[in-house]
Amino acid sequence: MVTKDGTSTPQNRKLVMVNPNTSTDVTASMLSLARQALPRDVEMTALTARSGATPILDTECLRTAEKAVLALCADIQTAPQRPFQDQ
């Protein structure tokens, strides 16, 4: 949050990044890069698709990845207030 005088106050914002392919190495790399670019008050975790393709090279793989992402998003929405672990 930015105040009237232009300073910011910590909000402890949280983001979850979802990797649509099954590569935990790619997830870790994406997470590392994203964290470097985020403000200090933003906490980011990442999830990796549990099934699907690595890498996503065609329309069929993309459709499979879409289903995997939607499943992870459903898990996030229905999860009790628990932290997600970095993948």
Looking at the domain assignment, is residue 2 inside a domain? no
Per the structure, how many domains does the chain have? 1
Domain range spanning residue 63?
13-78
Looking at the domain assignment, is residue 63 inside a domain? yes
HSE, side-chain direction, 13 A CA sphere, residue 17: 21
pLDDT tens for residues 6-26?
Answer: 555 656 788 999 999 999 999
Looking at the domain assignment, is residue 6 inside a domain? no
pLDDT tens for residues 37-60?
Answer: 999 889 999 999 998 888 889 999
